[in-house]
Amino acid sequence: MAGAEPRRQIFEANDTSPLGAAVRQRDENILSMVRAALDRRDVMLAFQPIVSTLDHGRTAFYEGLIRVLDDTGRVIPAREFIGACETNEIGRIIDCLALEMGLTALHQAPALRLAINMSARSIGYPRWMQTLERGLTMDPTLAERLIIEITEASAMIMPDITSVFMLDLQTRGISFALDDFGAGYTAFRYFKDFFFDILKIDGQFVRGISHDPDNRVLVQAMVSIARHFDMFTVAEFVENAEDAAALSALGVDCLQGYHFGAPTTSPGWKEFPQGMRRTG
């Protein structure tokens, strides 16, 4: 432990450095912007399709992605603010609003199947569960059309609580997706206890996969893991036909990315999928 004290002093110095102060100020500005948007109810979902690898014209389901509007009316995607909000109560409120809007969309479109993101930190947050219970009373088919996405990093914060939470809602027909798989450090001793229905492969392994043999090996391993645990696989951030073809050849079930459609706040629900079926 001889080197522990110098390292601790370095970290403390970094915390008070100009860069550290700038990061804190940035996060405070983001929280202020999001808090004001929530007060104005300037919050919406953008919907992105997830398509079958066997038929790119067939949408398996959609993902509802949270957006806020700043005071100029500019739409701000989640990646710009969710990191600063994750450990704050604002993050819990965002999860509640995303769920509320998702449940409303499911109620309005009876054939829609929709994935909504939440943090494991929102498990046990009373408002989130109240929102879910209220929404489920609107339609007896709603639970089986709802998919809840939890990031790998979030799930590993409290794996035991997360697995119990999932099992309780899965008995009611709700499905769960493990988001950003491969981006964090999965504890495989917990992984087999989660019983996720869908595994979403992080985009860092997907982009350029048609020209990257290393990523093809890694994705093949992820597909094998998913099949062993009877999970669907979704590749995120698919941006061209070559990568889509490579992922299809590896046995990935579904594809998501700008190649198939950008997130839109005005999806114009004309036709919805009737449900997911394993491909291959």
Q: What is the pLDDT of residues 173-214, one digit of tens each?
A: 999 999 988 876 665 666 777 889 999 999 999 999 999 999
What residues are paired with 150 via a beta bridge?
Answer: 178
Residue 168 within any structural domain of the chain: yes
129-178 tens-digit pLDDT = 999 999 999 898 999 999 999 988 888 888 889 999 999 999 999 999 99
* pLDDT (0 to 100) of residue 70: 87
Residue 265 within any structural domain of the chain: no
Which residue range forms the structural domain that includes residue 217?
A: 8-256
Residue 239 backbone phi and psi in degrees, to 5: -120, 0
Task: Work out the mean pLDDT of the chain and round it to a whole number.
Answer: 86
Alpha carbon 185 to its chain's center: 16
**pLDDT class of 8 with cuts at 50, 70, 90:** very low
223-259 tens-digit pLDDT = 999 999 999 999 999 999 999 999 999 999 999 999 9
Q: Tell me how far apart the alpha carbons of residues 195 and 167 are, in angstroms, rounded to a whole number.
A: 8
Dihedral sign of CA atoms 259, 260, 263, 264 in order: positive
Query: CB-side exposure of 36: number of CA atoms within 13 Å?
Result: 12
Element holding 116 (H helix, E strand): strand 114-117
pLDDT higher than threshold 60 for residue 11:
no
CATH number of the domain within which 216 lies: 3.20.20.450
Residues 6+ apart with CB under 8 A from 17: none
pLDDT higher than threshold 70 for residue 114:
yes
Residue 270 within any structural domain of the chain: no
Residue 261 within any structural domain of the chain: no
Query: CB-side exposure of 12: number of CA atoms within 13 Å?
Result: 6
Residue 264 within any structural domain of the chain: no
Q: Tell me how far apart the alpha carbons of residues 231 and 200 are, in angstroms, rounded to a whole number.
A: 10
Dihedral sign of CA atoms 169, 141, 178, 194 in order: positive
Q: Tell me how far apart the alpha carbons of residues 97 and 120 are, in angstroms, rounded to a whole number.
A: 15
pTM: 0.86
Residue 244 within any structural domain of the chain: yes
User: 141, 180 in Cβ contact below 8 A?
Assistant: no
Radius of gyration of the chain (CA): 20
How many separate domains does the chain show? 1
Residue 276 within any structural domain of the chain: no
Residue 51 within any structural domain of the chain: yes
* pLDDT (0 to 100) of residue 279: 38
Query: CB-side exposure of 48: number of CA atoms within 13 Å?
Result: 21
**pLDDT class of 46 with cuts at 50, 70, 90:** very high
* pLDDT (0 to 100) of residue 152: 83
* pLDDT (0 to 100) of residue 12: 40
Identify the residue with better confidence: 159 or 98.
98
Q: Tell me how far apart the alpha carbons of residues 49 and 60 are, in angstroms, rounded to a whole number.
A: 8
Residues 6+ apart with CB under 8 A from 194: 155, 159, 162, 163, 166, 176, 178
Q: Please report where in the chains the tokens 């819990």 appear, as a residue.
A: 92
